[in-house]
Chains A and B, each alone.
Chain A
Amino acid sequence: MQIFNFFKQFRRLALLIILLAAWEYASRFILDKTEATLLPPPSGVAQGGYELMKSGEIWKHSIDSLSREFIAFCYASVAIPLGIVMGCFKWVNEQVDPIIEILRPIPPIAWIPLSILWFGVGNVQNQFIIFLGIFFPILLNTIDAVKNVEPNLIRAARCLGAGSWGVITRVVLRAALPQIVTGIRIGLGVGWMALVAAELVGANSGLGFLINDARTVLRTDYILVGMLAIGVIGLCLDRLIRYTAQKLMPWSRALNA
């Protein structure tokens, strides 16, 4: 009976397991040798993953990518105070908004050629592209969050004696925080995608570099391992932020729905 219950959990994975098995079979027995190089079986990918872990390469590249993301995020977090000021003061918004609306539609990836001319190939260029990816979602969500602060909360604070500065630090910042965190989550996601693109053309290390480099030596298994790593790390980052936010802000319906 207990064994039956145990397997019940895996019922959801049935289709996935079937597809993986089909893939394994196809790559091993149906594709000819050339095609098999283009699509190694899951077992081959696992083998490649093991090799990369043993040689330490996968860790090194992951850390390089993550550190670029982190540094770019530190710079991009200037979007938070900027967003607060833009949300609180109409004249600032009026002036800055046109600039933002011209720059924002240009995807970070489109900045790659110019950034290589400006910064050469390397960390700074990567971080610049990632910065562009992270910056705008945070900015927009922050402005929106500030504008959507419930007016009665601000009124309540004022009739308890808070001045303008007190209202911003004690109410606006706290009330806007859940949505700012959402902006951070989205920003980090966009940044992570921009990172891969930037590393494909302009880096000597990192997961984006890894998958492109593996292509040049036809190590498709390494490519797939790299892609998986990119996906898994992106997912973990997102989950981590979501979890932390839920713990820190249990009152927020937006984060805890």
Chain B
Amino acid sequence: MLALKVEHVRKIYPSMHAKGQEVLAIDDVSLEVQKNEFCSILGHSGCGKTTLLNLIAGFEEPTAGQIECAGKVVDGPGADRSMVFQDYALFPWLTVHDNIAFGLKIKGTGAAEIEQIVTRFAALVGLSQFINHYPHQLSGGMRQRVSIARALVVDPTVLLMDEPFAALDAQNRAMMQAEMIRILKEESKTVVLVTHSIEEAINLSDVIVVMTRRPGRVKEIIRVPEPRRMVEDTPAYLAIRRQIRDLIAGEHDVSEAV
């Protein structure tokens, strides 16, 4: 069974005011994600990739088409599709420990089991030393790790990531990508990542979905030859990067503001 199935999804936003026009954000997007596959959705700002992710997450409803997660039609948010946000969205009044435990407490997991699980995932993301800290005491990279642990702990069918490393500087970003690879080696997960970084998509994915500009459609789906083992500056890497760059360049139009 497919982890995620997006079928002919379309999203129209109604106009904001009387004279405004409605916006066709996404126009007939279909894709399939296999279990434990890492799928990146790549495109320029405004192409609808975040809209698509929001639809998968269940924060919004498609105007047409449907989305299935593990065979069940998506009808609102749920722990089977947990999300890592670009601005971390950690609960500032909770410690790292309690942030990670949040989903477990809602599920009603027993206290002893919560301890076990939280300890394990805090170690997984390398934050065991900071388990009693508050988010405002942590750096951006550390906060994002908490966010990842929090989302993984509820054992989602699909982990959704919305430009998770975009707020980090270049070095932290590269480090977090490496961390992500390491984490996924220990905890295999189906992941759908939205990014505007071609390199990030190549570094992390099995499959890259390149989107057109608005109204978003799937332009091309590219398979990465050696997922999570691509080395920068090798011919294979440069080839795939050029391929994607050309696809996106064809979509680039300076005059269209987002």
Give A contacts to B, CB under 8 Å: 150, 152-153, 155-162, 166, 170-171, 174-175, 177, 249-253
Contact = CB atoms under 8 A, between A and B. Distances in A.
16 contacts: A155-B57, A155-B77, A155-B89, A156-B89, A156-B91, A157-B102, A159-B83, A159-B160, A160-B103, A161-B78, A161-B154, A170-B106, A250-B134, A250-B136, A251-B93, A251-B136
A245 to B, nearest CB: 12
Main secondary structure of the interface of A (DSSP, over half): helix
| Interface-central residue, A150, A157, A251, A252, by most chain B CB under 10 Å | A251
B131 interface: no
Interface of B: 57-59, 76-79, 81-83, 85, 87, 89-93, 102-103, 106-107, 134-136, 150-151, 154, 160
Nearest to B94: A174
Complex A-B, nearest 7 residue pairs according to Cβ-Cβ distance, in ascending order: A160-B103, A161-B79, A158-B77, A152-B89, A156-B89, A251-B92, A159-B77
Contacts, number: 70
Contact of A249 (B77, B93, B160): B93
B102 A160 contact: yes
Contacts of A158: 58-59, 76-78
Contacts of B78: 158-159, 161
Given A160-B106, A166-B106, A251-B134, A174 B79 contact: no
Contacts of A177: 93
A164 to B, nearest CB: 10
B193 to A, nearest CB: 15
A161 B103 contact: yes
A251 B135 contact: yes
Contacts of A251: 92-93, 134-136
Nearest to A153: B89
A152 B87 contact: yes
Contacts of A171: 91
